[in-house]
C-alpha cells in the first residue's frame, strides 16, 4: 500500500522547471516584445522560491494567457537562441545563479529590440564536441539530462527508443514515465496534450527526440499524441 501511495503522488517540479514550462507557453505569441515580457513573467516560480518581489502583473498575465499570433522566422530564430541559452543555465546548481543566467539568456532578443543589455549573468557557451567541461561545472549532460553524473546514453544521439517500465499520472493528468533503460521523464506542466494509457507499461514502446527550441518530445509507438517532456533521471 505504501508503494502504491508513493506512485500516486504527483511529481514535484523544481521552480526552474516550472519557469521553463512557462517559457514554452510563450511560444504562441507573435509580437517579439510581448514574447520577451512573457519570458520574464515565466520566471515567477523561481522568484517565489527565492522570496524575491513578484514579476510585474502584466508579465504574469501573459504567461497565464499568451495572446496567439504568428512570429516571423527571424524572430523565431532569435527566440531559439534565448531558450537554448536558458537550457545551458542548468550548469548552475545555485538557484539564484540559475535565475540570473535565465534573465541573461534573453540578451539576443534584447539586442534585436534595441534594448540595453541585462545585467544578469550570460549562459555558458555551447559545449564543443570532445571538449572538457569548464572547471567548477558538472560533467557534460547526456541525452535530455541537465548536467550531472555521466550517463550511459551518448550526448550526441538524436533520439532514444525504449520500453516503459512504469508510468503514473499526477492529479492534473500529466505523466511521469520510467523507461527500461533507467531514464525517468516527466511531462512538461502546461503541455496541452494528455495521455490516456491504460495497458501494462511494458506494452508501450517510447521514442524521445529533440524538439523545437531545445525541448524534448515523447511519442508512443502506434499511439496518438506528441508530448513535451523533461528528463528527471
Domain boundaries, the chain: 14-112, 159-231
Separation of alpha carbons 24 and 182, rounded Å: 26
Return left, alpha or beta for 62; rule: phi > 0 is left, psi -120 to 50 is alpha, else beta.
alpha
Cell numbers given for 209: 527526440
**Residues 72-97: pLDDT tens digits?**
888 888 888 888 888 888 878 888 88
Q: For the chain, what percent of residues have pLDDT higher than 70?
A: 75
Confidence band, pLDDT 50/70/90 cuts, at residue 55: confident
Closest CA relative to residue 34, chosen from 2, 7, 68, 3:
68
Task: Tell me: pLDDT of 132 over 60.
Answer: no
Residues 142/208, Cβ–Cβ less than 8 Å? no
Higher model confidence: residue 151 or residue 94?
94
Contacts of 10 (CB under 8 A, 6+ apart): 170, 171, 172
DSSP structural state of residue 89: G
Range of 26-35, 75-84, 132-141 with top mean pLDDT:
26-35
pLDDT above 70 (res 197): yes
Distance CA 232, CA 11 (A): 10
Amino acid at each position: 500500500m505504501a508503494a502504491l501511495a508513493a506512485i500516486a503522488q504527483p511529481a514535484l517540479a523544481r521552480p526552474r522547471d516550472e519557469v521553463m514550462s512557462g517559457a514554452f507557453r510563450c511560444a504562441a505569441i507573435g509580437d517579439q516584445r510581448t514574447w520577451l515580457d512573457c519570458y520574464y513573467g515565466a520566471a515567477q516560480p523561481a522568484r517565489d522560491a527565492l522570496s524575491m518581489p513578484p514579476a510585474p502583473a502584466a508579465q504574469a498575465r501573459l504567461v497565464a494567457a499568451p495572446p496567439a499570433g504568428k512570429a516571423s522566422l527571424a524572430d523565431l530564430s532569435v527566440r531559439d537562441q534565448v531558450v537554448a541559452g536558458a537550457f545551458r543555465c542548468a550548469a548552475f546548481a545555485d538557484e539564484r545563479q540559475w535565475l540570473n543566467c535565465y534573465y541573461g539568456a534573453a540578451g539576443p532578443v534584447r539586442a534585436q529590440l534595441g534594448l540595453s543589455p541585462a545585467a544578469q549573468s550570460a549562459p555558458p557557451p555551447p559545449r564543443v564536441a570532445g571538449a572538457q567541461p569548464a572547471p567548477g561545472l558538472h560533467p557534460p549532460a547526456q541525452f535530455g539530462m541537465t548536467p550531472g553524473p555521466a550517463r550511459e546514453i551518448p550526448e550526441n544521439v538524436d533520439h532514444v527508443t525504449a520500453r516503459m517500465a512504469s508510468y503514473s499520472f499526477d492529479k492534473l493528468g500529466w505523466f511521469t514515465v520510467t523507461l527500461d533503460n533507467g531514464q525517468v521523464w516527466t511531462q512538461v506542466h502546461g503541455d496541452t496534450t494528455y495521455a490516456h494509457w491504460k495497458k501494462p507499461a511494458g506494452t508501450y514502446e517510447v521514442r524521445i527526440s529533440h524538439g523545437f527550441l531545445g525541448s524534448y518530445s515523447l511519442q508512443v509507438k502506434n499511439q496518438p499524441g506528441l508530448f513535451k517532456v523533461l528528463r528527471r533521471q
